Amino acid sequence: MSVPKKRRTKGSKGKRRSHHSLKLIQLNKCPQCGEAKKPHEVCPSCGFYKGREIIKIEIKKKREKPQVQQTQEEKTPKQEEVPEKVAAPVQEKK
């Protein structure tokens, strides 16, 4: 089994790892729909690539919340009872 002859220095280790950093994704504007997309890939929003439709994209409908029937009491706005602030009588010290 082989063993390294010399220890790798911190500088050499850093130089080797200098290309391991994350890079920003380059985005281009889709000529069909104007959305941002990766270069040389099919547009995820419209499905076009180089002016041709490659993937047929179906528009997803927004899911509606089920309507709950309200009782007569819930329909009328409730008047919140706000307690009146009563000033406490001030007692003078003698």
The domain segmentation of the chain, as residue ranges, is: 25-56
Structure confidence at residue 67 (pLDDT): 75
Structure confidence at residue 46 (pLDDT): 86
pTM of the predicted model over 0.75: no
Residue 10: what are its φ and ψ, rounded to 5°?
A: -65, -35
What is the distance between the alpha carbons of residues 26 and 4, in angstroms, rounded to a whole number? 40
What is the distance between the alpha carbons of residues 50 and 43, in angstroms, rounded to a whole number? 10
* Strand, coil or helix: 74: helix
Q: What is the mean pLDDT of residues 29-52?
A: 89
Question: Does the pLDDT of residue 38 top 70, yes or no?
Answer: yes
What's the chain's average pLDDT? 81
Select from 37, 67, 64, 68 the least CA-distant residue to 50. 37
